[in-house]
Structure 1
Amino acid sequence: MSTLAQDATIAAASIAAPAAAHRYLYLRLVKDVTTSTRLRRAGRTTAVALTVLVPTGVLAAQYANPTRIAWLAWPAFLWVALAAYLLMTLVALELPVRLTARTLRRRSRSTTIVPKQTPHALVVQQGHSGATSMMDNTNTRKAEDASSQLLRRRLVLARSVALLATGTAAATTGYGFHRGLGAPDVKVVPVALRRLHPSLDGMRITMASDLHLGPFFGRSHTARMVRMINDTSPDIVAIVGDLSDGSADDLATHAAPLTRLSSTHGAFFVTGNHDYRHDVDAWIATLADFRITTLRNTRALIKHGGGAIDLAGVTDVTGRQNHDAPDYDRALDDRDTSHPVVLLAHQPVQVHQAARHKVDLQLSGHTHGGAFFPGNLLVPLTQPLTAGLTTIDRTQLYVSRGVGASLPPIRVGAPPDITVIELRRQ
């Protein structure tokens, strides 16, 4: 398929999916709950406007200057989050609502059936046409009343479902934004390593991943994160990828508080997949100005007391598309195996290569802990761990939920975190 055809397919999909979703929302939240022609027309117009808003906001957030499109990104992604929970709630209620509506129809039909008449009654009716006409009118009125009652019950049901879905979605989205944009949790996770020198017992590596500087996370977000990291008294600071959703030219001032990071042995950075959406070299140069060392398929020997560890870092797997592929041999070979090695790698899936090189501990981010349902169900399809600590082929893997959030910036059931990895002798 040609590039032009691929772009056309992506563009069509970016419109088709929001269009289908907004049509469903219009049917359930507007058409089903009102008989007013004016309100239905307004609902259709709103659905069309929101269908255009969503892809416009997404594209602007990816390619435009993040500092200038907040006015568009905020309503677009606020609605994306709200619409997602509206859809999930309405789809979950779809089956019970349909069963209830079917029951109402059956009851309505049973009340409009004309009772079976006896032959005597038929004879009487044949002789009394006026009485027959009166009975017909009565039955017609009963049918009309039953139909009207069915319509009222269906409206009550549809409105109840719409209110329940809207309330649930609004409450969940509000909480999600509050948690996603709020202060991260600080977690202390002890990790036992083989061959760790006694003088390194208790060494603290404070890690933060997925800052996602952009339209939602700016300078104040970075400054708060730096204060919280410094409060943990780190020996090493590790920033594990996805620093920004924009270019260094646009967002360097948002990242500037990183110059105030304080630790015994310095701050280190590895690239994430979002960092390759813009000029990654410009970001690496900017971080160097902020006294942050980028481990680009290399390692640093950290000496502390009478012991040492190797702190290695590899580029993200997305780097392959940008002539910056992860090189585990370069980062991990020819090292002194008498002391442990800690690897910084943005994506947890990179642990399989780390295990082949006998890495003791890999620190990763990328997953956001699933961020919000159903993300927690999707992450395991591509990553070996969503969040927390595990061991894979004798290599320990810790995955942070990150301090920022991708778009939309909401967190439900997966709060952001700064993690202090406390090294312990095994």
Structure 2
Amino acid sequence: MQRSVLQYAIFIVVFALLVFAIHFYLWHRLLRAPALHQRVQTWGKRVLVALGVALPVSMFVVRLLPRSAGALVSFVVYTWMGVAALLVSTLLVSEPMRAAVHALSKLVSRPLDEARRKFLSRTIAGSAGMITFGLAGSGAAEALGEVAVRKVNVALGRLPKELSGLRIVQLTDVHVGPTIGRAWLAEIVGRVNALDPDVVVITGDLVDGSVEALREHVAPLADLRAKHGVYFVTGNHEYYSGVEAWIEELGRIGVRVLRNERVSIGEGAASFDLAGVDDWTGGSYVKGHGPNMAKVVAGRDPNRELVLLAHQPRQIFEAAAHGVGLQISGHTHGGQIFPATMFVRLQQPFVAGLDRLGETQIYVSRGTGYWGPPMRVGAPAEITLLELSSGAAS
């Protein structure tokens, strides 16, 4: 437990330093470089300082506030987080152009005069602002609007023909917490049930908060209906929120938590193995947690199809080594806000969609909810309907 506290403390320090760097850059490019009126610079600096301080501080404060107040604070602060990220990304794109203009002026021995420098800086700042708020608006509409159902057909070589057409509905990265609550989740549950699933799987990062704070908001999961049951595996965020209490609570409301184990789906020969592993980081937070594929496959008939639930796509390497036919994952959010996709690729081998590693296929959902900024830019949320068929994958 001490290690988890240390990791959280390190995260807060790194996050605070990143926030400082972002806001310093925004001050420099939006206020100082354009040489705006001194009063505008002064007030702009105060606003940036206030917003910069609010980001890390709010992570602690919202836990002390009533839910309605905490939701409002979180919504405002996280919205700014998204806007700031988009602003920085847009401004960084302009840096090569800015450098090229300065290099060209030196090359022709005609340095930019002050008036032209101001015009260039103000034009870039204004353009970045317009582009950012356009992206932020469309991103908010995407995140807060109706979640699309994404249907994916997956052929599995060892799946019995009798099970062709079996429907697995995946929810992942719901992030019930400060800005996502009971009403939203109840709507998602209703839409899942309307798909008439054979199996429902929730592949981690369901919650951002304790059982005490979020029990009533997760309660709609008890209404999920599936012929062969509802299954869950832990994500990294469960380990920030009291994972053992959540495992108990989910079991209480009828959600089966798979912890490095497997169950049989179907009857007799017309069946396959569905397995689930703890999150990749679990062992760093709780002794005895973490993925254990050797335990999952112990005593298993290798001729049976094996579908694995694993929160993080990087589990695929071990999955492939243990004969998994299909891994179902989340975690990445598809990047959630472009260009985060590029950074996600540094950590995970797959970011979104259906792919494969050798004989093992993997489907990575972009997520059903969102984390942090209530925005999705270039990475729409999804309720995933995986329809299985018997036969070789194309």
Question: TM-score, structure 1 length as denominator?
Answer: 0.83
* Number of residue pairs aligned between Structure 1 and Structure 2: 386
Residues 16/399 of structure 1: CA separation in 2 closer, same or farther (3 Å cut): closer
Q: Deviations over 1:339-397 (max 9, x none)?
A: 21111111111121112221111111111112122221122222221111122131111
Is this contact kept in 2: 1:193–1:425, CA < 8 A? yes
Task: State the partner residue of 1:349.
Answer: 314
Aligned with 1:402 (options 364, 367, 380):
367
1:193-342 alignment runs, 5 A limit? 193-304=156-267, 307-321=270-284, 322-323=286-287, 324-342=289-307
CA distance in 2, matches of 1:64, 1:270: 29
The gaps in structure 1 that reach 5 residues or longer are: 111-146
Task: State the partner residue of 1:54.
Answer: 55
CA distance in 1, matches of 2:220, 2:280: 28
Is this contact kept in 2: 1:101–1:154, CA < 8 A? no
2:47 pairs with 1:82: no
Is this contact kept in 1: 2:204–2:233, CA < 8 A? yes
Residues 311/69 of structure 1: CA separation in 2 closer, same or farther (3 Å cut): same
Task: State the partner residue of 1:370.
Answer: 335
Task: State the partner residue of 2:120.
Answer: 157
Task: State the partner residue of 2:30.
Answer: 29
Task: State the partner residue of 2:324.
Answer: 359
Task: State the partner residue of 1:140.
Answer: none
The CA deviation at 1:101 is 6.0
The CA deviation at 1:194 is 1.9
CA distance in 1, matches of 2:370, 2:6: 32
CA distance in 2, matches of 1:315, 1:5: 21
The CA deviation at 1:107 is 9.4
CA distance in 2, matches of 1:155, 1:374: 28
CA distance in 1, matches of 2:109, 2:265: 79
2:134 pairs with 1:171: yes
CA distance in 1, matches of 2:364, 2:38: 53
Give the match's secondary structure for 1:33.
coil
The CA deviation at 1:157 is 2.8
The CA deviation at 1:11 is 5.8
Is this contact kept in 2: 1:200–1:304, CA < 8 A? no
The gaps in structure 2 that reach 5 residues or longer are: none
Q: Deviations over 1:115-151 (max 9, x none)?
A: xxxxxxxxxxxxxxxxxxxxxxxxxxxxxxxx9xx54
Counterpart residue identity of residue 352, structure 1: F
Give the match's secondary structure for 1:251.
helix
The CA deviation at 1:166 is 0.6
Counterpart residue identity of residue 312, structure 1: A
Deviates more, 1:71-80 or 1:307-316: 71-80
CA distance in 1, matches of 2:130, 2:162: 55
2:152 pairs with 1:189: yes
Give the match's secondary structure for 1:379.
helix
Task: State the partner residue of 2:383.
Answer: 418
CA distance in 1, matches of 2:344, 2:73: 28
Is this contact kept in 2: 1:368–1:405, CA < 8 A? yes
**Identity value in percent:** 39
Question: TM-score, structure 2 length as denominator?
Answer: 0.89
Residues 287/88 of structure 1: CA separation in 2 closer, same or farther (3 Å cut): same
The CA deviation at 1:299 is 1.4
Give the match's secondary structure for 2:33.
helix
Q: Which has the larger radius of gyration?
A: 1
Is this contact kept in 2: 1:270–1:315, CA < 8 A? yes
Residues 259/154 of structure 1: CA separation in 2 closer, same or farther (3 Å cut): same
CA distance in 2, matches of 1:184, 1:346: 20
The CA deviation at 1:164 is 0.6
The CA deviation at 1:317 is 1.4
Task: State the partner residue of 1:384.
Answer: 349
The CA deviation at 1:106 is 9.6
Counterpart residue identity of residue 259, structure 1: A
**Higher percent of residues as helix:** 1
The CA deviation at 1:34 is 4.4
Deviates more, 1:21-30 or 1:97-106: 97-106
The CA deviation at 1:212 is 0.6
CA distance in 2, matches of 1:285, 1:363: 23
